[in-house]
Amino acid sequence: MTILNLPNHTILPIAPPRLHPYHLGASLYMPATRLDILAVIKREKLENINSIIICLEDSIHDNDVARALTNLQNLLKNWQQQQTDNPKLFLPRPLVFIRPRHAKMLRELVEVAKIEMVDGFVLPKVDMASLANWRLATQHLDKAKFLMPTLETASIFHATHNDELAIALTESFTQQILALRIGGNDLLSCLRLRRPQDITLYQSPIGALIYRLLGCFVPYGFYLTAPVCEFLDKPELLNSEVQQDVALGLVGKTVIHPSQIAIVQNAFQVSADELTQAGAILHADAKAVFKQDNTMLEPATHKNWAMEVLTRHDVFGLKQQQ
């Protein structure tokens, strides 16, 4: 047996994104063939959505790629024209991202007219094997755009690979990485599985993987988002799962239907107790250790949690008391 000894690598966390990833909230995937995307961007539809991802990848059949690209080009043109004519139509609007099929398509999208309208791009199936191609594809992309690489290939099950990827991602792009997305269904497919209908993702093999991904990538400064729950008729299951997403520090969740949006957004709201404790921890006169609400609070170790709670409150608000 060969034991692989990697050299020690000092963890230098990436700079925090200028926009906190909690603003992603529920991220709705919309196939690029849809004709109502602009209505969602203008909040004529789905007023409560935080972010949308215009998908050119798995949700588009090979035969429909050309039509999807044409529709996207028309969308960008109409969006830019309407925003120029009446900027108030788009204030406020959801965050808008595009998910290309592959790195070659991203290179082509960079040249598309009015592509500057979107906030960034979701990069599918990013791992050490594909990272160089994605890096080349973003070389001529506006540095102000956000990137969201997706962890969803078989390599993501290997701890050594992920250690290398975490380091590489801190150095690979001139654009900011807003969050790393976890592709739950693709990862299950790597195991020849599909999520059973009566359990959360955390009761599947992907649950253990999510814990490992958090331990690997978060110390480098990355935020991670939660995978989709594809069952539309099981709101209790979704609610149970997203409660655990929040508890683990995941910053948003993919949704595929408008009925899922409110469940996700509500789960990210902050309880009154959390808000009170966070304020006490961050108070300028806080003691080194103190008791509140029968809980030990220690600013030195709880400060990071408290700051995240305040940001969640700013984005999602306070939970309604039952």
For residue 160, the tally of other CB atoms under 10 A from its CB is 10
Question: Whole-number mean pLDDT of the chain?
Answer: 92
The Cα 93–Cα 98 span in angstroms is 15
0.85 surpassed by pTM? yes
Both tokens assigned to 100: 């290309």
Q: How far is CA 257 from the centre of its chain?
A: 17
pLDDT, one tens digit per residue, over 249-278 is 999 999 999 999 999 999 999 999 999 999
pLDDT, one tens digit per residue, over 33-82 is 999 999 999 999 999 999 999 999 888 999 999 999 999 999 999 999 99
pLDDT (mean) for 238-252:
97
Can you list the alpha helix ranges (DSSP code H) found in the chain? 37-41, 65-85, 103-109, 131-137, 159-169, 184-190, 205-217, 235-247, 261-267, 272-282, 299-316
- At residue 295 the predicted structure's pLDDT band, cuts being 50, 70 and 90, is confident
Q: CA torsion sign, 266 to 267 to 268 to 272?
A: positive
Contact 82, 44 (CB under 8 A): no
Residue among 318, 314, 320 nearest 21 (CA): 314
36 labeled binding residue: no
The domain 21-268 having CATH identifier 3.40.50.20: the answer here is no
Residue corresponding to tokens 């990137």: 147
pLDDT (mean) for 288-305:
87
Ordered by start, the domain boundaries in the chain are 21-268, 270-321
170 pLDDT more than 90: yes
